[in-house]
Structure 1
Amino acid sequence: MNYQAAIFDMDGLLLDTERVCMQAFDDACEALSLPFLKNIYLGIIGCNAQGIKQVLCDGYGADLDYEPLRKEWMSRYHPIVEQQAIPVKEGVIDLLNWLQAQAIPIAVATSSHKELAITKLKLAGLFDYFDHLSSGCEVSEGKPSPEIFLLAASRLNISAQHCLAFEDSNNGVRSAIAAGMQVYQVPDLVKPDADIIALGHTVSDSLADVLTQLKVGRLNNKQNTDKRPL
């Protein structure tokens, strides 16, 4: 595997935020006497603000008054993620430290709003690991469009084909693969279906497992290099 940079999604991959967000949505639905349609909700994972609105309006139907729902939802979600350190997912710190030790540039490509993403990462103690952060508010099309991953790669000045991409969501996987990146998926709330698995990327249980695989790959590359004739 030939890679020169690593690009990470944030929510559900680095930080255990997806469950917090879903609970806030469930509570908002209850407050507004709306049903919590989990199968519809899960379709928003990996989407930016525009995509979230589209998925929810399509799923709930034309009678949904989206803005009051969004206001109620965010009034419950933001006080948590803007003031509390969200737990870091398994293997994150070790993987980031290892990539830094290999002198691999690291970036974030998140569908979240930029300022909120910065706040989440700072509270969790992760912000200083990253050379750049690209957010959903900086692109015209959200995931599964490749635009945000291509933006992140360009900011690192590394071609997309030489970037590792780390994602939890199916939308994010489609985005990174469309960008031409080498993709690792660590599923969170939504498991990959047959169509996603058929894309041929690597699916792992945790970023700790990913780190083990990368270390083995780096060792094999070194051994192969050492065996080359002079």
Structure 2
Amino acid sequence: MLKDIDAVIFDLDGTLIDSMWLWKNIDIEYLARFGIEFPEDLQRCIEGMSFSETAVYFKQRFNLPDSLEKIKSDWNQMAWDKYLYEVPLKEGVKEFLDYLKELKLPLGIATSNSRELVELVLNKHNISGYFSSIRTSCEVDRGKPYPDIYLLVAKDLGVKPEKCLVFEDVIQGVIAGKSANMKVCAVYDDYSKSDDEEKKKLADYYIRSMKELLP
């Protein structure tokens, strides 16, 4: 998998950390504040969107009175303690990062999450030092499934897109990596397990755990 690869780029939620489960709970609780029932298609509609794009979507779809900044601030607040105390690294992540460090491969993160939560969780697990580039989709024009975020991180790392390997857990992210002309390894996550067959078709590789990649 690492043959002819000069850099590795990771998605964050569902790929490096086990956090996808908590966002549905936050959305249910958040919408309830406005007396709005959680629509079952919501997670699918917002998958891959940046934090800012998701706020715009919520404001428009649910006709929310709050500003975009207030919406995002409320989400950060609601997720803060969960990210601090309830979100673990996924199996084999730390060991795999150590292995890539030994190989001297530059590493990056391309995430749809907010900068605040990204920094919180990376610092909590002491892994921010592994990454030469950490970017959020709010820093590009379009979130996943568009390739913008992956191309930006590759540019930061000084590596051609076709020499990058991407790790992603959701379909929109896999499509984003492939659209950037990168090799993509789909990662199992309980939250998106119903999409596994589709992820396997779209990606170059598939793993259940990063432990599988250790020598």
Q: TM-score, normalised by structure 1?
A: 0.79
CA shift, 1:134, in A, is: 1.4
- Cα 1:169–1:153 change in 2 (3 A) is same
**Alignment-derived partner of residue 109 in structure 2:** 108
Rounded to whole Å, the distance in 1 between the matches of 2:169 and 2:161 is: 19
C-alpha distance in 2 between matches for 1:185 and 1:171: 11
Residues 135/168 of structure 1: CA separation in 2 closer, same or farther (3 Å cut): same
The aligned amino acid for 1:206 is S
| Kept after mapping to 2: 8 A contact 1:84/1:123 | no
Which residue number in structure 2 is paired with residue 90 of structure 1? Answer: 91
Please name the residue that 2:207 is paired with.
Answer: 204
Conservation of the 8 A alpha-carbon contact between 1:53 and 1:66: no
Determine the structure 2 residue equivalent to 1:117: 118
Matched letter for residue 34 of structure 1:
I
Contact 2:186/2:199, CA 8 A, preserved across alignment: no
Secondary structure at 2:110's aligned position in 1? strand
Look up the equivalent residue of 2:171 and give its one-letter code.
Answer: N
Residue identity in the other structure for 1:202: Y
- Distance in 2, matches of 1:200 and 1:185, equals 6
Using a 3 Å threshold, how does the CA distance of structure 1 residues 200 and 137 change in structure 2: closer, same or farther?
A: closer
AA at the equivalent of 1:147: D
Structure 2 CA distance, aligned partners of 1:66 and 1:168?
33
Task: Please report how far the alpha carbon of residue 193 of structure 1 lies from its aligned counterpart in structure 2 after TM superposition.
Answer: 6.4
CA RMSD across the alignment:
2.5
> Cα distance, 1:112 vs. partner?
1.9
Once residues 100 and 21 of structure 2 are traced to their aligned partners in structure 1, the CA distance between those partners, rounded to angstroms, is: 27
Secondary structure at the aligned position of 1:190 is classed as helix
CA distance in 1, matches of 2:109, 2:76: 22
Question: What are the residue-to-residue correspondences of 1:46-195 with 2, within 5 Å?
Answer: 46-53=48-55, 55-56=57-58, 61=61, 63-65=62-64, 67=66, 70=71, 72-81=74-83, 83-84=84-85, 86-188=87-189, 189-191=191-193, 192=195
Matches of 1:17 and 1:201, distance apart in 2: 24
CA–CA distance in structure 1, aligned partners of residues 154 and 37 of structure 2: 40
Q: Is the 8 A contact 2:93 2:211 kept in 1?
A: yes
Give the superposition deviation at 1:52: 1.7
Using the TM superposition, give the Cα deviation of residue 53 of structure 1 relative to its aligned residue in structure 2, in angstroms.
3.6
Cα offset, 1:148, TM superposition: 0.7
2:42 to 40, 47, 54: 40
Shift of 1:45: 3.0
- What CA distance in whole angstroms lies between the structure 1 residues aligned with 2:14 and 2:198? 21
Q: Secondary structure at the match of 2:192?
A: coil
- Name the amino acid aligned to 2:168: E
Distance 1:115 1:7, change over 3 A: same
Cα distance in 1, alignment partners of residues 16 and 203 from structure 2: 22
Contact 2:53/2:143 (8 A) holds in 1: yes
Alignment gaps of 5+ in structure 2: none
Q: Distance in 2 between matches of 1:84 and 1:151?
A: 31
SS at match of 1:184: strand
Take 1:132 and 1:200, find their aligned partners in 2: how far apart are those partners? 23
Rounded Cα–Cα distance in structure 1 between residues aligned with 2:192 and 2:56: 19
Aligned partners of 2:8 and 2:82: how far apart in 1? 28
Question: For 1:16, what is the secondary structure of its paired residue?
Answer: coil
